[in-house]
A and B are shown apart, each in its own frame.
Chain A
Amino acid sequence: MSFDHLRATYFEESAELLESAYAQLSALAEDRADGDTMHALFRAIHSIKGGGGAFGFTRLVGLAHVMETLLDHLRDGSLASTPDRMALLLKATDALADLLGAEQRDEAMPEGFEKGLIAALAAVVESPGRAMKTGLPATALTPAATDGAGWRIIFRPHAALFRHANEPLLLIRALRALGPVSVSVDLGRLPGLEVLEPEDACLAWTLDLAAPVPRAEVEEIFEFVVDECDLTIEPLGRTVTEAVDAPSDAPPMAAAPTAVPRTEQAAAVQSVRVDVAKVDRLVNLVGELVINQAMLVQIGNAVPPEACPGLVAGLETLSQHLRELQEGVMAIRTQPVKSVFSRMPRLVRELSAQLGKDVRLVVTGEATEIDKTVVEQLADPLTHLLRNALDHGVETPEVREAAGKPRQGTVHLSAEQRGGRILIELSDDGRGIDRARVLARAKERGIVAPDAVLTDNEVDELIFMPGFSTAAVVSAVSGRGVGMDVVRRNIQSLGGRIAVESRFGQGSRFVLSLPLTLAVLDGLVVSVGREAYILPIASIVESLRPRPQDIHDVVGRGQVLSIRGAYIPLLALHRAFGVADAVLDPSRGIVVIAETDHAGRVGLLVDDLVGQHQVVVKSMEGNYGRIPGIGGATILGNGRVALILDVAGLAETTDRGAATRHAPPAAAVLH
């Protein structure tokens, strides 16, 4: 592994550790903390520091070190965790993230960037509050913290300790660095040679450290193995005196292991780091298998059952296993939305400070899982929505008070799975969309006609139009007018939809509906001439065979279909794609009505509906290029390629085609 690789891995891991640190911090802030929370936080900062030291990131290490010192005092109870201290830690974690980011980009944060924080942290550690601790009666954790002759450490590693490449010898050596150590080994559990499992942990050590060091220093040595061993640390003197004073007590050696056994396995690493490319290869292969299986089923159906008994049942089992395999492999690609949600609290903190607002962010459903690609591409749109909510939505405390609302605004970010989709909701209790202003602005900018009458929903939709921005004063936070249309486009490129609901004076709610995965899609196979196309089921509203009297010609717009009193544009696929031998008369074919975000409903004229399939989406762009109106391709059960329609793109291209000259495709000319 090259140095660059190691560096990359360090940053990747640090990002995860930071995420964990933020999670623990918010748990502490919301009183959800348990005994391990502070330990986990300490471990995260400690690991970032350790790795950073190896790469020579001295400023980062300096900051992490004081954080660690404070955390150490917080977790052993010598300092109380007050909201102030939590806020300071949160700030320090933000700064740590900034320093990490700078190192990753090979930049340097401004000189003295972290100085103030380090001083503040150090001041807390040295504060008089800490001095009080010495006056406290000795607790179970800190019996005579530094006095006595030293410590007796009984250390019994589990097999897991060795499996995670830890080495007792190194720990003992580290202990020896603190002072003279007498080591005795307990061979009691060592079985005979003939039954010895070489990978078992059979040895235990009793280590007497004859040096009056603080208990924390001893604990620090075992910090990373504490979950993988039975560890007892007790003052050297006490065991001796107890043994003398109370001879009736069980001998300390026997009692010791049950005294403070740390055997929780929850903290053990339960995940494997796998290159996404490898997972994608698996996903692809499973996709191939599914196609292959579909072919086999087709062939199997052609074989008379008596000629090959068992074939049908065998194929049936194969299908079931394949479905499970596919679900399993897809699940590898999914990731909790937490990884993007966890970036949001910081954003809210910083923005509300910048904007002089008091905002509380409530996050729910962070454990909801969604395709990794989707998660990654969600960060930008969500950031933007959140910025908007804080900048335009939530009012300043004074305005809120005047409006009879609590001074603190609330922004709620949630995720949940519903059916085959993930719904992400961002709502605020701010001022909501001012429809009169939106409409006035849209008319002013020529986005809608001056005399247009729009429904409330249509007005709300205007905020997604390119070049629309209502903030009277364009602020640094948002309001450059390149926002919501980009958000919508990003969401659409993920196969998702975005909708807004708003009540003036009470707040807005943005709902993002996203597919679970981008790799498979439920599709309706339609035929046009000799070609078959896939229509994403998600976009289909209904399908029907229109009556001739429902089809009307509109000058310059082609045909429209009248359905229940509404006119929707009719789009003949054979004409759009230049397919020969197709059904030309709409009343003899089938019209599939599909919903698009931009162009509303569109009726697609096809010859026939063939069936519904789950298809594996393949990109056309790698070997060919993007085709307007085509979202990708897939392989049907018969091994042939079928194109997946992009209804929105299709409606757009034909719109453009109708507006300008209509050039027939060259292929059609040369036929």
Chain B
Amino acid sequence: MQISVQPRMAGIDAQARGLAMAAGAGAGGMVAQYVTCTLGDAEYGIDILSVREIKGWSETTALPHAPAWVRGVINLRGTIVPILDLRSRFGLGQTAVTAMHVVVIIQTATRMAGLLVDSVSDIITVGAEEVRPVPEVGMSVPERLLSGLIPREGAMVSLVSLDNLLNLPDADLAPGMPATLS
């Protein structure tokens, strides 16, 4: 079964999830879809099943004692959602936000959060065999924040490990300490 999904800037919802599942089932369950987004020249992939919606950047409310990569919280139709600066999370410095920046709202089993990225570019369908493991050395990004690498037309897409990414600071952690190093 061949289904092509057009990238959309918003409303990647149940319908798209359904399509993704269908695409996965058609290829024997070994195919996954990722929303790709950019930080500068680098491309990152986010599991489409975790993406709830994509929206433009809006002003946040800063949180005291939060790490620098937590940009604050926004009101998403009544739910308080923390916004994480993906660039800063990867240790690449803080994003200078403009109205053109994009927030990808993701939902995991336990949490909802927004990822601040430069732009969203595509939806890719990838077979499990295409995903390469993250090398142990030679990377500037803490590798546990990535779950795999996909070579793609000369470029490379890094898959974001949302579970590790969303491991947010708790009250017991000292202010500013990255919370993932457990």
Q: Which residue numbers of A lie inside 8 Å of B, CB to CB?
A: 284, 287-288, 291, 531, 576-579, 618-620, 622-630, 633, 635, 639-643, 663, 665-667, 669-670
Contacts and interface: CB of A to CB of B under 8 A. Distances in A.
29 contacts: A284-B78, A531-B62, A576-B64, A577-B62, A577-B64, A618-B78, A622-B80, A623-B81, A623-B82, A623-B111, A624-B70, A625-B168, A625-B171, A627-B64, A627-B66, A629-B64, A630-B63, A630-B64, A639-B75, A640-B75, A641-B73, A643-B61, A663-B176, A665-B175, A666-B68, A666-B176, A667-B62, A667-B68, A667-B176
Contacts of B81: 623
Nearest to B113: A623
Interface of B: 59-68, 70, 72-75, 77-82, 94, 111-113, 168-171, 174-177
Given A623-B81, A623-B82, A628-B171, A665 B64 contact: yes
Contacts of B60: 641
Nearest to B107: A623
Given A665-B175, A666-B176, A669-B176, A623 B79 contact: yes
Given A665-B175, A667-B68, 9 more contacts: A291-B78, A578-B65, A618-B78, A624-B80, A628-B171, A629-B64, A642-B61, A666-B68, A666-B175
A284 B79 CA distance: 10
Contacts of B68: 666-667, 669-670
Contacts of A665: 64-66, 175-176
Given A531-B61, A618-B80, A670-B68, A635 B176 contact: no
Contacts of B61: 531, 633, 640-643
Contacts of B79: 618, 623
| Dominant SS among interface residues on chain B | loop
Nearest to B60: A641
A283 to B, nearest CB: 11
Contact of A579 (B62, B73, B170): B62
A576 B64 CA distance: 8
A626 B171 contact: yes
B64 A578 contact: yes
Contact of B169 (A625, A635, A640): A625
Contacts of A291: 78
B176 A641 contact: no
A626 B78 contact: no
Contact of B175 (A284, A618, A630, A663): A663
The interface centre, meaning the residue of A578, A622, A624, A643 with most chain B CB atoms within 10 A of its CB, is: A624
A577 B64 CA distance: 5
Contacts of B168: 624-625
A578 B70 CA distance: 14
Nearest to B67: A666
Nearest to A576: B64
A669 B177 CA distance: 13
Contact of B170 (A284, A626, A640): A626
A287 B80 CA distance: 13
Nearest to B78: A288
A8 B111 CA distance: 29
A291 B76 CA distance: 13
B86 to A, nearest CB: 16
A289 B50 CA distance: 28
Contacts of B176: 663, 665-667, 669
Contacts of A643: 61, 63-64
Contacts of B63: 624, 627, 630, 643
Nearest to B65: A665
A629 B65 CA distance: 10
A623 B169 CA distance: 11
A531 B94 CA distance: 20
Given A531-B61, A623-B81, A640-B59, A667 B67 contact: yes
Contacts of A625: 168-171
A578 B67 CA distance: 12
Contacts of A670: 68, 94
Nearest to B88: A670
A375 to B, nearest CB: 26
